[in-house]
Structure 1
Amino acid sequence: MPYWLMKSEPDEFSIHDLQRLGNGRWDGVRNYQARNFLRAMAAGDLFLFYHSSCAEPGVAGIGRIENDPFPDPTAVDPKSPYHSSKATQEKNPWIARNVSFVDAFDQVISLTRLREIAALSNFALLQKGSRLSVMPVTDEEWQAIVACR
Protein backbone atom coordinates (compact mmCIF):
# COMPACT_ATOMS: atom_id res chain seq x y z
CA MET A 1 0.00 0.00 0.00
CA PRO A 2 1.41 3.40 -0.89
CA TYR A 3 1.74 5.96 1.88
CA TRP A 4 1.57 9.73 1.65
CA LEU A 5 2.17 12.93 3.57
CA MET A 6 -0.29 15.79 3.25
CA LYS A 7 0.25 19.23 4.74
CA SER A 8 -2.37 21.55 6.16
CA GLU A 9 -2.18 24.68 8.25
CA PRO A 10 -3.89 23.70 11.51
CA ASP A 11 -5.82 26.98 11.74
CA GLU A 12 -7.34 26.08 8.34
CA PHE A 13 -7.87 22.31 8.82
CA SER A 14 -6.17 20.26 11.54
CA ILE A 15 -6.02 16.62 12.56
CA HIS A 16 -8.35 17.57 15.42
CA ASP A 17 -10.86 19.03 12.94
CA LEU A 18 -10.71 15.78 10.99
CA GLN A 19 -11.08 13.80 14.22
CA ARG A 20 -14.14 15.84 15.24
CA LEU A 21 -15.75 15.55 11.80
CA GLY A 22 -14.72 11.95 11.08
CA ASN A 23 -14.19 12.84 7.44
CA GLY A 24 -13.61 15.89 5.28
CA ARG A 25 -12.58 17.19 1.90
CA TRP A 26 -8.91 17.79 1.09
CA ASP A 27 -8.91 20.68 -1.34
CA GLY A 28 -7.04 23.84 -2.25
CA VAL A 29 -3.93 22.16 -3.65
CA ARG A 30 -2.53 24.49 -6.32
CA ASN A 31 0.76 22.90 -7.30
CA TYR A 32 0.79 20.59 -10.32
CA GLN A 33 3.20 18.03 -8.86
CA ALA A 34 1.22 17.87 -5.59
CA ARG A 35 -1.98 17.56 -7.65
CA ASN A 36 -0.46 14.66 -9.57
CA PHE A 37 0.32 12.91 -6.29
CA LEU A 38 -3.32 13.43 -5.25
CA ARG A 39 -4.35 11.76 -8.51
CA ALA A 40 -2.00 8.84 -7.89
CA MET A 41 -3.61 7.98 -4.56
CA ALA A 42 -6.09 5.14 -4.22
CA ALA A 43 -9.04 4.81 -1.89
CA GLY A 44 -7.75 3.17 1.28
CA ASP A 45 -4.26 4.67 1.11
CA LEU A 46 -3.03 6.13 4.40
CA PHE A 47 -1.40 9.52 4.83
CA LEU A 48 0.54 11.33 7.50
CA PHE A 49 -1.33 14.49 8.47
CA TYR A 50 1.33 17.21 8.73
CA HIS A 51 0.65 20.53 10.45
CA SER A 52 2.53 23.28 8.60
CA SER A 53 3.04 27.03 8.99
CA CYS A 54 2.41 26.93 12.72
CA ALA A 55 4.28 27.20 16.01
CA GLU A 56 5.20 23.50 15.98
CA PRO A 57 5.20 22.03 12.48
CA GLY A 58 5.18 18.27 12.34
CA VAL A 59 3.26 15.05 11.88
CA ALA A 60 0.07 15.22 13.93
CA GLY A 61 -1.73 12.02 12.95
CA ILE A 62 -2.94 9.66 10.26
CA GLY A 63 -5.77 9.90 7.75
CA ARG A 64 -7.16 7.69 5.01
CA ILE A 65 -8.05 8.47 1.39
CA GLU A 66 -11.72 7.62 0.87
CA ASN A 67 -12.52 8.03 -2.81
CA ASP A 68 -11.39 8.73 -6.32
CA PRO A 69 -10.29 12.28 -7.11
CA PHE A 70 -12.95 14.77 -8.16
CA PRO A 71 -12.86 18.38 -9.43
CA ASP A 72 -11.97 20.76 -6.60
CA PRO A 73 -15.03 22.98 -6.10
CA THR A 74 -12.95 25.67 -4.39
CA ALA A 75 -11.16 26.34 -7.68
CA VAL A 76 -14.34 27.64 -9.32
CA ASP A 77 -15.74 29.44 -6.26
CA PRO A 78 -14.86 33.15 -6.53
CA LYS A 79 -15.41 33.53 -2.76
CA SER A 80 -12.85 30.83 -1.92
CA PRO A 81 -9.26 31.75 -1.04
CA TYR A 82 -8.33 28.84 -3.34
CA HIS A 83 -10.21 30.22 -6.35
CA SER A 84 -8.31 29.72 -9.60
CA SER A 85 -8.98 32.16 -12.43
CA LYS A 86 -7.95 29.45 -14.92
CA ALA A 87 -10.54 26.94 -13.68
CA THR A 88 -14.07 26.67 -15.04
CA GLN A 89 -16.88 24.21 -14.38
CA GLU A 90 -16.07 22.59 -17.72
CA LYS A 91 -12.29 22.62 -17.37
CA ASN A 92 -10.99 22.43 -13.83
CA PRO A 93 -7.36 21.26 -13.56
CA TRP A 94 -7.51 21.00 -9.76
CA ILE A 95 -8.75 18.02 -7.77
CA ALA A 96 -9.88 17.21 -4.26
CA ARG A 97 -10.15 14.00 -2.25
CA ASN A 98 -12.40 12.92 0.58
CA VAL A 99 -10.40 11.81 3.60
CA SER A 100 -11.22 10.22 6.93
CA PHE A 101 -9.71 10.22 10.39
CA VAL A 102 -7.56 7.29 11.54
CA ASP A 103 -5.46 8.53 14.48
CA ALA A 104 -4.28 11.68 16.24
CA PHE A 105 -0.88 11.46 17.90
CA ASP A 106 -0.59 12.43 21.56
CA GLN A 107 2.20 14.81 20.57
CA VAL A 108 3.15 16.22 17.20
CA ILE A 109 6.31 14.61 15.82
CA SER A 110 8.21 17.82 15.23
CA LEU A 111 10.25 18.68 12.20
CA THR A 112 13.28 18.80 14.50
CA ARG A 113 12.58 15.24 15.69
CA LEU A 114 12.05 14.00 12.13
CA ARG A 115 15.47 15.38 11.16
CA GLU A 116 17.06 13.26 13.94
CA ILE A 117 15.79 9.95 12.52
CA ALA A 118 18.49 8.25 10.42
CA ALA A 119 15.95 6.34 8.30
CA LEU A 120 14.58 9.69 7.07
CA SER A 121 17.84 11.03 5.63
CA ASN A 122 16.37 10.96 2.09
CA PHE A 123 12.80 11.86 3.07
CA ALA A 124 11.51 14.45 0.57
CA LEU A 125 9.97 16.58 3.35
CA LEU A 126 13.40 17.12 4.89
CA GLN A 127 15.21 18.10 1.71
CA LYS A 128 16.25 21.70 1.31
CA GLY A 129 13.71 23.66 -0.71
CA SER A 130 11.00 20.99 -0.42
CA ARG A 131 7.67 22.78 -0.19
CA LEU A 132 5.21 20.29 -1.69
CA SER A 133 1.96 19.96 0.23
CA VAL A 134 1.43 16.36 -0.92
CA MET A 135 4.19 13.79 -1.33
CA PRO A 136 4.78 10.04 -1.30
CA VAL A 137 6.26 8.31 1.73
CA THR A 138 8.18 5.04 1.44
CA ASP A 139 7.32 2.07 3.63
CA GLU A 140 10.62 2.51 5.52
CA GLU A 141 9.91 6.23 6.12
CA TRP A 142 6.34 5.47 7.23
CA GLN A 143 7.52 2.83 9.72
CA ALA A 144 10.21 5.14 11.13
CA ILE A 145 7.75 8.00 11.64
CA VAL A 146 4.92 5.91 13.08
CA ALA A 147 7.39 4.28 15.51
CA CYS A 148 8.04 7.73 17.04
CA ARG A 149 4.52 8.31 18.27
Structure 2
Amino acid sequence: MAYWLFKSEPDTWSWDQQVAKGQVGEEWGGVRNYQARNNMRAMKIGDRGFFYHSNVGKEIVGIVEVCAESHPDSTTEDARWDCVDIRAVAPMARPISLEMAKAEPRLKDMALVQNTRLSVQPVTEAEWAVVLELSGTADPA
Protein backbone atom coordinates (compact mmCIF):
# COMPACT_ATOMS: atom_id res chain seq x y z
CA MET A 1 0.00 0.00 0.00
CA ALA A 2 1.18 3.51 -0.81
CA TYR A 3 0.28 6.71 1.03
CA TRP A 4 -0.68 10.12 -0.33
CA LEU A 5 -1.97 13.55 0.62
CA PHE A 6 -4.86 15.25 -1.20
CA LYS A 7 -5.25 19.01 -0.80
CA SER A 8 -8.49 20.89 -1.24
CA GLU A 9 -9.72 24.33 -0.32
CA PRO A 10 -12.62 23.65 2.06
CA ASP A 11 -14.83 26.25 0.39
CA THR A 12 -14.38 24.34 -2.90
CA TRP A 13 -14.48 20.74 -1.61
CA SER A 14 -14.47 20.02 2.11
CA TRP A 15 -13.96 16.98 4.29
CA ASP A 16 -17.68 17.06 5.14
CA GLN A 17 -18.56 16.94 1.44
CA GLN A 18 -16.16 14.04 0.96
CA VAL A 19 -17.74 12.15 3.88
CA ALA A 20 -21.21 12.79 2.44
CA LYS A 21 -20.23 10.89 -0.74
CA GLY A 22 -20.09 7.69 1.30
CA GLN A 23 -18.64 4.46 -0.06
CA VAL A 24 -19.09 5.58 -3.66
CA GLY A 25 -16.53 8.33 -3.15
CA GLU A 26 -15.79 11.19 -5.48
CA GLU A 27 -13.60 11.86 -8.49
CA TRP A 28 -10.55 13.92 -7.53
CA GLY A 29 -10.82 15.95 -10.71
CA GLY A 30 -9.70 19.37 -11.81
CA VAL A 31 -6.00 18.83 -11.10
CA ARG A 32 -3.87 20.60 -13.72
CA ASN A 33 -0.35 19.88 -12.56
CA TYR A 34 1.72 17.16 -14.24
CA GLN A 35 3.46 16.01 -11.05
CA ALA A 36 0.13 15.71 -9.19
CA ARG A 37 -1.39 13.89 -12.19
CA ASN A 38 1.53 11.49 -12.31
CA ASN A 39 1.12 10.81 -8.60
CA MET A 40 -2.52 9.88 -9.25
CA ARG A 41 -1.48 7.64 -12.16
CA ALA A 42 0.72 5.70 -9.70
CA MET A 43 -2.12 5.06 -7.24
CA LYS A 44 -3.74 1.69 -6.69
CA ILE A 45 -7.12 0.78 -5.22
CA GLY A 46 -6.78 0.62 -1.46
CA ASP A 47 -3.97 3.17 -1.21
CA ARG A 48 -4.60 5.56 1.68
CA GLY A 49 -4.27 9.31 1.84
CA PHE A 50 -4.61 12.26 4.12
CA PHE A 51 -7.31 14.83 3.30
CA TYR A 52 -5.83 18.30 3.79
CA HIS A 53 -7.74 21.57 3.97
CA SER A 54 -5.59 24.17 2.20
CA ASN A 55 -5.83 27.96 2.42
CA VAL A 56 -8.50 27.92 5.17
CA GLY A 57 -7.39 25.84 8.13
CA LYS A 58 -4.24 24.42 6.56
CA GLU A 59 -4.61 21.11 8.35
CA ILE A 60 -4.93 17.37 7.79
CA VAL A 61 -8.51 16.58 8.77
CA GLY A 62 -9.18 13.04 7.56
CA ILE A 63 -8.11 9.80 5.96
CA VAL A 64 -9.27 8.73 2.51
CA GLU A 65 -8.87 5.64 0.36
CA VAL A 66 -8.41 5.32 -3.40
CA CYS A 67 -11.52 3.53 -4.70
CA ALA A 68 -10.95 3.90 -8.48
CA GLU A 69 -7.59 3.99 -10.23
CA SER A 70 -6.49 6.61 -12.73
CA HIS A 71 -9.05 7.41 -15.43
CA PRO A 72 -9.87 10.40 -17.67
CA ASP A 73 -10.85 13.50 -15.68
CA SER A 74 -14.49 14.29 -16.42
CA THR A 75 -13.93 18.02 -15.82
CA THR A 76 -12.07 18.41 -19.13
CA GLU A 77 -11.99 17.17 -22.70
CA ASP A 78 -8.18 17.32 -22.64
CA ALA A 79 -6.86 13.74 -22.70
CA ARG A 80 -3.69 14.74 -20.80
CA TRP A 81 -5.56 14.94 -17.49
CA ASP A 82 -6.43 11.92 -15.36
CA CYS A 83 -7.74 11.53 -11.84
CA VAL A 84 -8.63 8.90 -9.26
CA ASP A 85 -11.71 8.47 -7.09
CA ILE A 86 -11.38 8.60 -3.31
CA ARG A 87 -13.72 7.88 -0.41
CA ALA A 88 -13.58 9.00 3.21
CA VAL A 89 -12.35 6.41 5.71
CA ALA A 90 -12.02 8.24 9.04
CA PRO A 91 -11.64 11.71 10.50
CA MET A 92 -8.45 12.63 12.31
CA ALA A 93 -8.92 12.47 16.07
CA ARG A 94 -7.07 15.79 16.19
CA PRO A 95 -6.34 17.72 12.97
CA ILE A 96 -2.67 18.26 12.21
CA SER A 97 -1.90 21.81 11.10
CA LEU A 98 0.82 22.78 8.68
CA GLU A 99 2.55 24.57 11.56
CA MET A 100 2.53 21.36 13.62
CA ALA A 101 3.98 19.40 10.69
CA LYS A 102 6.71 22.00 10.16
CA ALA A 103 7.57 21.93 13.88
CA GLU A 104 7.96 18.13 13.96
CA PRO A 105 11.58 17.17 13.10
CA ARG A 106 10.51 13.74 11.85
CA LEU A 107 8.42 15.45 9.13
CA LYS A 108 11.10 17.87 7.90
CA ASP A 109 11.35 16.08 4.52
CA MET A 110 7.60 15.57 4.05
CA ALA A 111 6.32 16.96 0.74
CA LEU A 112 3.69 18.97 2.64
CA VAL A 113 6.48 20.77 4.50
CA GLN A 114 8.82 21.13 1.51
CA ASN A 115 6.33 21.84 -1.30
CA THR A 116 3.14 23.29 0.12
CA ARG A 117 1.71 24.05 -3.35
CA LEU A 118 1.57 20.51 -4.81
CA SER A 119 -2.07 19.36 -4.62
CA VAL A 120 -1.51 15.58 -4.68
CA GLN A 121 1.67 14.37 -3.03
CA PRO A 122 3.30 11.18 -1.79
CA VAL A 123 3.62 10.43 1.92
CA THR A 124 6.17 7.91 3.16
CA GLU A 125 5.16 5.10 5.48
CA ALA A 126 7.21 6.71 8.27
CA GLU A 127 5.52 10.11 7.72
CA TRP A 128 2.12 8.41 7.73
CA ALA A 129 2.87 6.84 11.11
CA VAL A 130 4.15 10.12 12.60
CA VAL A 131 1.07 12.09 11.50
CA LEU A 132 -1.23 9.42 12.95
CA GLU A 133 0.77 9.45 16.19
CA LEU A 134 0.62 13.26 16.49
CA SER A 135 -3.11 13.27 15.83
CA GLY A 136 -3.93 10.44 18.21
CA THR A 137 -5.63 8.60 15.35
CA ALA A 138 -5.53 4.82 15.11
CA ASP A 139 -4.44 3.49 11.72
CA PRO A 140 -7.67 2.33 10.07
CA ALA A 141 -5.82 -0.25 7.96
Unaligned runs of 5+ in 2: 136-141
- 8 Å Cα contact 1:19-1:104 kept in structure 2: no
CA deviations on 1:25-64 (whole Å, 9 max, x unpaired) are 111110001100000000100001011011x201011000
Alignment of 1:95-106 (within 5 A): 95-106=82-93
- Name 2:35's counterpart in structure 1: 33
- The CA RMSD measured in Å over matched residues stands at 1.2
Is 1:68 the counterpart of 2:69 in the alignment? Answer: yes
- 8 Å Cα contact 1:16-1:104 kept in structure 2: no
Per the normalisation by structure 2, the TM-score is 0.89
Per the normalisation by structure 1, the TM-score is 0.84
Alignment of 1:1-149 (within 5 A): 1-22=1-22, 23-54=25-56, 56-76=57-77, 87=78, 92-127=79-114, 129-149=115-135
Cα offset for 1:107? 3.7
Instruction: Give the secondary-structure state (helix, strand or coil) at the position aligned to 1:75.
Output: coil
User: What is the alpha-carbon distance in structure 1 between the residues aligned to residue 116 and residue 61 of structure 2?
Assistant: 19
Runs of 4+ in structure 1 displaced over 4 angstroms?
none
Identity %: 40
Unaligned runs of 5+ in 1: 77-86
| Larger-Rg structure | 1
Cα offset for 1:108? 2.3
User: What is the alpha-carbon distance in structure 2 between the residues aligned to residue 100 and residue 139 of structure 1?
Assistant: 20
